[in-house]
Amino acid sequence: MSAPLTPDFANGEVSFWYRSLGVPEPGEPLDGDLQADVAIVGAGYTGLWTAYYLKKAEPHLRVVVLEKEFAGFGASGRNGGWLTGALAGSPERYAKTHSPDAAKRLQRAMFEAIDEVIRVAAAEDIEADIVKGGLLTVARSTAQDVRLREELNYQRQWGWTEADVRLLTRGEMESRLRVSGATGATWSPHCARIQPAKLARGLARAVRNLGVEVYERTPVTEISRGRAVTPYGTVTATYVLRCTEGFTATIPGHHRDWLPMNSSMIVTEPLPEDVWAEIGWNGRELLGDMAHYYMYAQRTADDRIAFGGRGKPYLYGSRIDDRGHTPAWTIDALWSLLTSFFPAMAGFRVAHAWSGVLGVPRDWCSTVHLDRETGLGWAGGYTGHGVTTTNLAGRTLRDLVLRRESELSVLPWVDRRVRSWEPEPLRWLGVHSMYRLYRMADARESRGAERTSALAKIADLITGH
């Protein structure tokens, strides 16, 4: 089904979130060599939160951020706006190197980080359309319904109580949101809706107000001990922190660290009252599903539906399409899924489509790292769960740089060692087979399979998902 487009439909152009604010003119680039205490590469949420907390803790530090385009240009200005408490990766994997209790502490720290973001946004006057309406996860087939309950049991084993997530009755589900074909749902309070670009823009303003120097249009071409090299000069610093997430494959020496995974979104035109009366969504919950090829959605502050999913998952050789242009077939696939969730959408149109990259480590779990000897550090590999995790990463990097022994500096995602992705063509084949199998598994399950398709299990085995 071809998606109907509004006359002013835009494709790419960073994101709808920026289009509605005005895509910013990048600020001044670096102008010659300089010396700093901390150099941060990348002005997404990771870089900005790290700069924010460092400068708050030690105002005398010279903190410099180097950004190749403008602050918030990457996934931080393009995401689905789920400020979610979900961990990147399975708690089991974090527990392996530490303990089950340590993994549970990491989970609690994630829950708390949501409120920390909301607190700082209020304190710094960042208006980012934040509503903490929780996360509604729906099942739309028998197999998805089984998986929803299995997931709930799994979460219980990892410390999620009834107050953290619970199964809804059909009545409770429908009083929140009426999704066509939904057979069951869980709801968790640990998620808030945000307008991503507003958060990125507000954070960039807050760090500049604190005295952090943010140089834009300044690509870093080399990172080494004490140095971040750019075409306009070299920043020499005691600590150099790499905060480039999905773009990390483009940094020399890091090509196979994190796979740049693509995610794509569409947004509808504003929807009238009678549509909302039909579907509900008064609580502004974030919406996800239990499909293998999953979707994510939000009701925006101006009453549109922003709806995302995988699209073309990965480009050969870890290439990155920077500007977010999205192929027509992805837009059509997202539209078709959206209208199957909400048939009332059929008379409306898509106003914007865009894509972005997120970083996926080989074991699908994220890491914060600082080598005290070389001063080199990094955080990322959030596998699509970075909106909240970046805040925790920023506070953790602060503690590591300032050599504070804190609860954060010993969480089990600190200093993990993860093997690299395979060279091509294995990387491409692995990721594409995984998503192909996921699509086939979803199709089988939607035709009435009673349990999770074996194809999805094979897919997980291939890439270690």
184 binds ligand FAD (CB under 6 A): no
**Are 141 and 445 spatial neighbours (Cβ–Cβ below 8 Å)?**
yes
Residue 66 interacts with ligand FAD (CB under 6 A)?
yes
Strands (DSSP E) found in 135-250: 135-139, 166-167, 184-188, 191-193, 213-215, 222-224, 227-230, 233-242
DSSP one-letter code for 299: E
CB 183 → ligand FAD: shortest distance, Å? Answer: 24
State the DSSP H helix or E strand holding residue 279, giving kind and residue range, or none if neither: helix 273-279
Site membership for ligand FAD, residue 381 (CB under 6 A): no
Stretch that binds ligand FAD, among 117-125, 209-217, 244-252, 403-411 (CB under 6 A): 244-252
Residue 212 or 449 with smaller CB distance to ligand FAD:
212
Give least dist CB 387 to ligand FAD, A. Answer: 3
Decide whether 281 or 449 has the Cβ nearer to ligand FAD. 281
In the complex, the smallest distance separating the C-beta of residue 265 from ligand FAD, rounded to whole angstroms, is 5
Smaller CB separation from ligand FAD, 306 or 455: 306
Residue 104 touches ligand FAD, criterion: CB under 6 A: no
Angle between helices 100-123 and 196-209 (to 10 degrees): 80
Q: Determine whether 281 is exposed, middle or buried from the number of CB atoms within 10 Å of its CB (0-12, 13-18, 19+).
A: buried
Positive or negative, the Cα torsion across 360, 361, 362, 367? Answer: negative
CB of 366 to ligand FAD, least distance (A): 9
Helix (H) or strand (E) holding 350: strand 350-361
> Which position has the token pair 């990094």?
378
Burial 402-437 (b: 16+ CB within 10 A, else e): eeeeeebbebbbbebebeebeeeeebbebbeebbeb
C-alpha dist (Å) from residue 311 to 19, 25, 179, 332: 21, 29, 22, 10
Tell me: does residue 165 bind ligand FAD (CB under 6 A): no
**Candidate residues 188, 244, 453, 463; the one interacting with ligand FAD per rule CB under 6 A:** 244
Q: How far is the CB of 385 from ligand FAD (least distance, A)?
A: 4
Q: Which of 16, 40, 54, 69 binds ligand FAD (CB under 6 A)?
A: 69
> Taking contact as CB under 6 A, which single stretch among the options 5-13, 19-27, 69-77, 117-125 is the one that binds ligand FAD?
69-77
**Residues 230, 215: Cα–Cα separation, whole Å:** 11
Q: Find the binding residues for ligand FAD in span 315-374 (CB under 6 A).
A: 356-358
Site string for ligand FAD, 278-317 (x = CB under 6 A): ------------------x-----------x---------
Cα–Cα distance for residue pair 465/459, rounded to 1 Å: 8
CA angle 228, 321, 229 (to 5 degrees): 10
What sections of 80-141 are H helices per DSSP? 91-97, 100-123
Site membership for ligand FAD, residue 82 (CB under 6 A): yes
- Nearer to ligand FAD (CB atom), residue 219 or residue 280: 219
73 binds ligand FAD (CB under 6 A): yes
- Point out which span in 21-29, 245-253, 328-336, 410-418 binds ligand FAD (CB under 6 A): 245-253
Pick out residues in 26-65 that bind ligand FAD (CB under 6 A).
41-47
CB-nearer residue toward ligand FAD: 297 or 455: 297
Of 243 and 337, the one with the shorter C-beta distance to ligand FAD is 243
Total chain residues near ligand FAD (CB under 6 A): 45
Q: Does 380 bind ligand FAD (CB under 6 A)?
A: yes
Question: Which residues, 6+ apart, have CB-to-CB distance to 61 below 8 Å?
Answer: 37, 38, 54, 55
Do residues 83 and 389 touch, judged by C-beta distance below 8 A? no
Q: Nearer Cβ to ligand FAD, position 44 or 134?
A: 44
| Joined tokens for residue 430 | 């692995």
Nearest to 278 by CA among 137, 211, 179, 131: 179
Closest contact distance (angstroms) between CB of 393 and ligand FAD is 8
E strand residue ranges, 397-446? none
Binding residues (CB under 6 A) for ligand FAD: these are 41-47, 66-69, 73-76, 78-82, 84, 219-220, 243-247, 250-251, 263, 265, 296, 308, 356-358, 380, 382, 384-388, 390
